Homo-oligomer: A and B are copies of this chain.
Amino acid sequence: MEMFEDKNPKRTPISELGEFGLIDHLVKAFPLKNSSSILGPGDDAAVIDFNGKSTVVTTDMLVEGIHFNLSYVPLKHLGYKSVIVNLSDLYAMNALPQQITVSLALSNRFPIEAVEEIYAGIQLACEKYGVDLIGGDTTSSTSGLVISITAIGSANQDEIVKRSGAKANDLIVVSGDIGGAYIGLQVLEREQAVFEANPNTQPDLAAYPYVLERQLKPEARKDVRGILEGLDIKPSSMIDISDGLSSEMIHISKASNLGCKIFEDKLPLDPEVIRVCEEFNVDHTTMAINGGEDYELLFTVPLEAHDKIKDNPSLTLIGHMTESDGMFLVTRDGAEVPLTAKGWDPFLNKDAD
């Protein structure tokens, strides 16, 4: 009951717009005015510029019960992952991560030892990625845990890579392999359900080392920048895979006003991912294009880069950009299936509680 309640407010559920729709809708009213504000909302990170050096800024908020489930996510892993998801956004701009700020809200069910575990994971990520913790805020909440991290990176102005720079006929490249993090989550949720039915059982996780690590302890691709520099290639566009290949491919295509074709038989999958997909009776191509949280980099390069990339063990050519505005997965039998953004939306999906 609110003292200043509007008696007849219009109430449109946020799920009608979804996360991206809502953000687009809200930021329209905020044109950039300061000369140091180079790039605003709508890419992996924002770019500000002081004295010709670009500072790249990104922020992500992780909420208990929405983004993670503490029944099966150890706090140290959570701290680590919450840094990684932000660094991944900076690498996706071709920037070098430098600093983070960490804000935590915790209810009184969390003792100091729990916060220490979260920070131990944050510290591990800071050390591995050469990042300094420079500030933050720690406060209480009435329920649950919220982690908000802002990461700051640097780059020379001409090094920044946006989503919007792809050209027709550019090749589409993905680092590592995809689909593992999401099928890893399915394993954890199944074991959690078994555990809840009988708390005396021990979770049976030994058969899933790769997909569980992909879900619980993902890494950001700090190596890709160096690999591409070594090959003398600058990506024309780049994004990280947080919501799934299909969703990210649509972002690049729309931002670049182009279409794309990616080829089912080129998608890089780990053998364990294929095996676990079979065990769960799900199509591994579906997992590869719609499963999120892999934190691989998806980028486009000029056609001429083909021979430099084709044999690189860290990179896979999976398709090319097209003049038309169609975005397609070309299946093994040659059918062209339109890509759809089945990526994870926090206003539509929630982790099991």
A residues adjacent to B (C-beta < 8 A): 1-4, 9-17, 19, 22-23, 25-27, 29-30, 32-34, 36-37, 39-41, 45-46, 48, 50-53, 55, 57-61, 63-67, 70-72, 74, 98-99, 101, 103-106, 108, 110-113, 115-116, 119, 123, 126, 130-144, 146, 148, 150, 152, 154, 191-192, 195-196, 199, 203, 346-347, 350, 353
Contact = CB atoms under 8 A, between A and B. Distances in A.
B347 A41 contact: no
A133 B23 CA distance: 12
- Of A22, A37, A108, A135, which is in contact with the most chain B CB atoms at under 10 Å from its CB? A135
Tell me if A's interface is mostly helix, strand, loop or mixed: mixed
Given A30-B126, A61-B146, A203-B3, A37 B99 contact: yes
Contacts of A146: 61, 63, 105, 141, 146, 148
A60 B64 CA distance: 19
B22 A98 contact: no
A143 B64 CA distance: 10
Given A32-B132, A33-B132, 17 more contacts: A1-B195, A1-B199, A3-B195, A4-B74, A9-B113, A14-B140, A23-B138, A29-B119, A33-B130, A40-B132, A55-B152, A57-B101, A58-B101, A59-B101, A64-B142, A65-B141, A105-B146
B136 A41 contact: yes
Nearest to A52: B51
Given A143-B143, A148-B148, A2 B71 contact: yes
Select the residue from A27, A140, A192 with max chain B CB neighbours within 10 A.
Answer: A140
A50 to B, nearest CB: 4
Nearest to A48: B99
A128 to B, nearest CB: 12
A48 B115 contact: no
B140 A63 contact: yes
A93 to B, nearest CB: 11
10 contacts: A14-B106, A26-B138, A29-B119, A30-B133, A36-B99, A41-B136, A46-B99, A61-B146, A143-B143, A148-B148
B63 A152 contact: no
A192 B3 contact: yes
Nearest to A86: B137
A55 B52 contact: no
Given A2-B72, A9-B113, A34-B130, A142 B140 contact: no
Contact of A63 (B34, B46, B105): B105
B10 A111 contact: yes
